[in-house]
Amino acid sequence: MNSAVKSGIAAMAGLIVIWQLVVTLTGVPRFILPSPYLVGVSFIENFELIAEHTLVTLSEIMFGLAIGITLGIITALQFEISPAAKFFLKPVLIFSQAIPVFALAPVLTLWLGYGMISKVTMAVLIIYFPVTSALHDGLTRTPSGLCDLAHVMNAKPLRMLFLIKLPAAMPNLLSGIRLAAVYAPIGAVIGEWVGSSQGLGYLMLLANGRVKTDLMFAALFTLGFLSMSLYGLITLWIKLAFRRFEAQ
């Protein structure tokens, strides 16, 4: 067990202890802040329900990640290949990030419906910019010595892009993907809050409306665990990728 996992477990244990102390010392009503024990009981009693909605949210996140990362890579490469594309598309990309995601969610739900498509689109929009920006920054910061050597050897622009610039920009791309893993659940859940009949975001709203605060917290912590697990898996994959890259 590495230090990151140990520190995460220690932090979670400390949070639970503080949480229990707050509930015990203040006597706060359970419908406002249930104890960790009540949340755990609710999780066990509603395990199948939570698992069903977790699967929906996870599907939205994974589809959003796949599409958003792919589009981000394509856009960053297009910026490097075509100055005209960079001139016309980059302002649009920045403008899309200037609009709060909560403002876009109702519009996307109106256009795309209450199904999975609108939630996946929200996830794509929220991770598209970090991936594009990270990779584009890496491509523009390729060591000048490598570029000069490629020019001396009469390398064509596309070969230079894919054989020199893109490998040099991999650390930036992987950092962008790591950020995407954090942002994707935000987009999916916001979409579920605005309009949905499935997913952890919907379950949280449903439980809150029925004053089942323990179930709401159980869904909330399930979402947090899902996000942390996804981030951890992608971080582990990045470390393994770097080890293989360095070994070659």
More confident residue, 225 or 92: 225
Instruction: Tell the residue number behind the tokens 């995601």, with chain if given.
Output: 101
pLDDT surpasses 60 at 2: no
Average pLDDT, rounded, for the chain: 86
Q: Spell out the domains of the chain, with CATH numbers in brackets.
A: 34-247 (1.10.3720.10)
pLDDT surpasses 70 at 80: yes
Instruction: Tell the residue number behind the tokens 């993907």, with chain if given.
Output: 177
**Can you tell me the mean pLDDT for 205-227?**
92
User: What pTM, to 2 d.p., does this model score?
Assistant: 0.87
Q: Please report the pLDDT score of residue 44 as a whole number.
A: 94
pLDDT class of 41 with cuts at 50, 70, 90: very high
pLDDT class of 10 with cuts at 50, 70, 90: confident
Mean pLDDT lowest among 3-7, 17-21, 39-43, 49-53: 3-7
